[in-house]
Amino acid sequence: MAEIEYYTRYLLSALAIAVLINCAISLLRLRPKKKTYALFRDLATNDEYEMTCYETSIGRGRNTDIRFKLPSVSRAHAVVALRKDGFYIFDTDSKQGVYVNGEKIDKKSKLSHGDTVAFGMEIMKFYVASEAAGDIKNIEDIEPEYKNYVLTDIVSGNDFPLEGDYATVGREEGSNIQISAPNISRRQAIFTNENGNWYLHNMSKNVPTLLNGQAVTKPTVLRSGDVIKFGDFAFLFGEEE
Amino acid sequence: MDKVKQKGKNVNLAIMLAVVTLFQLICAVTLISKGESENRMRVIITFGGYLLAEYAYFIGARLILGRRGFEVELIAFLLTGIGLSITASVYPHLAIKQLIATLIGIAGFVALQIILRDIDLCMRLRYPAAFLSVGLLAFTLIFAGFTNGAKNWLYIGGLSIQPSELVKVAFIFVGAATLERLQSNKSLTKFILFALGCIGTLFLMYDFGTALIFFFTFLVISFMRSGDVRTLILICAAAVLGGILILLFKPYVASRFASFGHAWENFDTTGYQQTRVMIYSASGGLFGVGLGNGKLRNIFAATEDLIFGVVCEEFGWIMAAAILLSYIALLVYSIKHSRYARSSFYAICACAAAALMLFQAALNVFGVNDVLPMTGVTLPFVSRGGSSIMSCWMLLAFIKAVDRGTYRYGGVRQ
């Protein structure tokens, strides 16, 4: 009996180690596969930011998942979270607030595919990954169709059609409406399309963007006949004939 | 439905459960063969009840809930089994009491997993949990008497509980429930006040070990919430300054740690427990002297504070090392999975719980070996103690929550 007990201690050690080491190795190796749940597309630069976590923090701070080095963006500006019934955006006490389709949110708001989200001067388009594919392949297929609007230069009479999701205005090359004048900012403004409604966002700190004589301080929906002024340049917003 | 895909393979539950069962059966048979007739029945009831609970959990989770990964629970069941074996061997009359506490702990583990599914519910529960925690600690401070130099035990009828063990669970729960103000430094103010209330009360209770564990957990949660190292450095500096002031103006606090680093010089007095742990641990060798054959079991608090020494002596160094490795594995697992967790709430909870366990284990192991001052904290899952085992099992629910496979959807009740 004593001999059995003597050898039992080896067996006990072997059994415990088999469990603990196996479980420890498994725990150290296990890792969920990366998957993209949604993405933000920067309307000014066209950069894309994939969201591969259930919660994605956005801000100027070093610890955020999506980082914008702009003074108008707070260090911890917002969090986008995936819940059972879809995506939500939380304003994490940012100074400038979070705007979804031009409306300032109060603490949290539901996000839908194609929404425009503004964090300070950063304006993004939000896209949900295709549930079946688990990626962003099908975004173009589910884009809604938009009516075309046009900006007409009041002085020259030239038309600038607004098409697709957004249009940029500024001195910068590559802007949809490029105005090569010194009193216009490189990125003066952005027009975004929300389910057929066009919104105007001011992007310039120095040169005010005026809508019907009023400075644009937050994303504002446009109506046919509105007059928009960038520096000395005035445009009329209306439907394309 | 979000099907969880992962890299790496889970352990085979059937094989591992069979190995765990065999381990526990061998321990039970060894104790039965050595025990008196009265104690044999106690061992049979203890291990019978424990095995039943173990199988009920795994069958329920696998067949009813369709879960796949069970590494975390297997480690916990094995460690708890080792603790139960030592308790049944040293104090057979307390084995059934320890089993009941373990079963309550497992029930708490399951209940907390259900609560954690609903993040909105967790957010609503954080304030009641915070007030209840501080109230419970304050009640203990006022009404508890001194036990082993600290006022941390409440005696209700024939039962004794250590409220600070249960408050550990609430501390992490309250600290992590912060979704609306994630990554915001401003969000720390209320948590700092809450932590100050808990740690201050523990200090007044002379429960320095637990106060240190709470402070460490507070640092982990604060860092995960704000990511702000400067604030944490300021907090640590304030804590060190506060500690120095306390030692200057309350010299009797320092006397509690007088024998630290001088255990061999105080061989038969204040260093009695530490020196015996070192002597008997060394005599255990790689495979131990066998369950029930050790000498350390005769020293005061052998099954609580000194249990790591008993494991080294009776089960051997290899098993002791594997136990420590399992705490490290739980922390690494929590950190790795926190990136993929369904909510930052789960990520903070899991990292805080696993870090707490590892820190507590380190305080226990280094304390009994005179590397750190002996603070009288337990070795998670292994040490005897109802409140301790209940709190460990409930903390495990936080670690389990970080796994995407635990909840199918992002923290919302289905």
Mean pLDDT, range A73-93, rounded to an integer: 84
Which residues on chain A are in Cβ contact (under 8 Å) with B290?
5-6, 8-9
Which residues on chain B are in Cβ contact (under 8 Å) with A29?
7-9
The answer, yes or no, to whether residue A195 has pLDDT greater than 80, is no
Cα dihedral: B257, B258, B260, B265 (round 10): -150
Residues A218, A199: contact at Cβ < 8 Å? Answer: no
Least CB–CB distance from A12: residue in B183, B315, B328: B315
Check A32 against B16: CB less than 8 A apart.
no
pLDDT at residue number A182: 85
Check A23 against B326: CB less than 8 A apart.
yes
CA–CA gap between residue A220 and residue B1 (Å, rounded): 37
Q: Which residues of B35-68 are buried (b: 16+ CB within 10 A; e: fewer)?
A: beeebbebbeebbebbbebbeebbeebeeeeebe
Residues A49, A66: contact at Cβ < 8 Å? Answer: yes
Residues A7, B1: contact at Cβ < 8 Å? Answer: no
Check B326 against A30: CB less than 8 A apart.
no
Residues B372, B363: contact at Cβ < 8 Å? Answer: yes
Q: Using H for helix, E for strand and C for coil, what is the string for chain B?
A: CCCCCEECCCCCHHHHHHHHHHHHHHHHHHHHHHCCHHHHHHHHHHHHHHHHHHHHHHHHHHHHCCCCCCHHHHHHHHHHHHHHHHHHHHCHHHHHHHHHHHHHHHHHHHHHHHHHCCHHHHHHHHHHHHHHHHHHHHHHHHHCCCECCECCCEEECCEEECHHHHHHHHHHHHHHCCHHHCCCHHHHHHHHHHHHHHHHHHHHCCCHHHHHHHHHHHHHHHHHHHCCHHHHHHHHHHHHHHHHHHHHHCHHHHHCCCCCCCCCCCCCCCCHHHHHHHHHHHHHCCCCCCCCCCCHHHCCCCCCCCHHHHHHHHHCHHHHHHHHHHHHHHHHHHHHHHCCCCCHHHHHHHHHHHHHHHHHHHHHHHHHCCCCCCCCCCCCCCCCCHHHHHHHHHHHHHHHHCCCCCCCCCCCCC
CA–CA gap between residue B132 and residue B203 (Å, rounded): 18
Which burial class, exposed, middle or buried, applies to B180 when counting CB atoms under 10 A from its CB (0-12, 13-18, 19+)? middle
Show which of residues 24-63 on chain B sit within 8 Å of chain A, judged by CB atoms.
26-27, 30, 33
Which residues on chain B are in Cβ contact (under 8 Å) with A130?
none
Check A33 against B319: CB less than 8 A apart.
no
Q: What is the pLDDT along chain B (414 residues), one digit of tens a residue?
A: 345 556 667 888 899 999 999 999 999 999 998 877 778 999 999 999 999 999 999 999 888 877 878 999 999 999 999 999 999 999 999 999 999 999 999 999 999 999 988 887 888 898 899 999 999 999 999 988 877 778 888 888 778 889 999 999 999 999 887 655 554 445 677 888 899 999 999 988 888 889 999 999 999 988 888 777 787 888 888 888 888 877 777 776 677 677 788 888 888 888 888 999 999 999 999 999 999 889 999 999 899 999 999 999 999 999 999 999 999 999 999 998 887 787 888 889 999 999 999 999 999 999 999 899 888 899 999 999 999 999 999 999 999 998 877 665 433 332
Check A76 against B69: CB less than 8 A apart.
no
Ranking A67-71, A83-87, A143-147, B341-345 by mean pLDDT, the lowest is A143-147
Check A9 against B4: CB less than 8 A apart.
no
Residues B391, B320: contact at Cβ < 8 Å? Answer: no
- Report phi then psi at A239, rounded to 5: -70, 145
Residues whose CB is less than 8 angstroms from the CB of residue B13 and which lie 6 or more positions away in sequence, other chains included: B58, B62, B70, B74
- Global pTM? 0.78
Which among B30, B179, B184 is the top mutation candidate for probing chain A, defined by the most A β-carbons within 10 Å of its own β-carbon? B184
pLDDT at residue number B396: 96
pLDDT at residue number B410: 39
pLDDT at residue number A224: 82
Residues B289, B318: contact at Cβ < 8 Å? Answer: no
CA-based nearest residue to A68, from A45, A34, A91? A45
Question: Mind listing the pLDDT tens digit for each residue in A113-164?
Answer: 888 898 877 888 888 876 434 444 444 444 444 567 888 888 888 888 887 7
To 5 degrees, how large is the angle CA A100–CA A106–CA A108?
70
pLDDT at residue number A113: 85
Which residues on chain B are in Cβ contact (under 8 Å) with A11?
26
B229 touches chain A (CB under 8 A): no
pLDDT at residue number B256: 67
The answer, yes or no, to whether residue A41 has pLDDT greater than 50, is yes
CA distance A40 to chain B (A): 19
Which among B3, B19, B80, B183 is the top mutation candidate for probing chain A, defined by the most A β-carbons within 10 Å of its own β-carbon? B183
3-class SS shares of chain A: helix, strand, coil, % to 5: 15, 40, 45
Residues A86, A110: contact at Cβ < 8 Å? Answer: yes
Q: Which two tokens stand for residue B26?
A: 């061998």
pLDDT at residue number B340: 79
CA–CA gap between residue A228 and residue A214 (Å, rounded): 9
Number of structural domains (chain B) is 1
Type and span of the H or E element at A190: strand A189-194
B319 touches chain A (CB under 8 A): yes
Q: Domain range for residue B261?
A: 2-413
pLDDT at residue number B186: 52
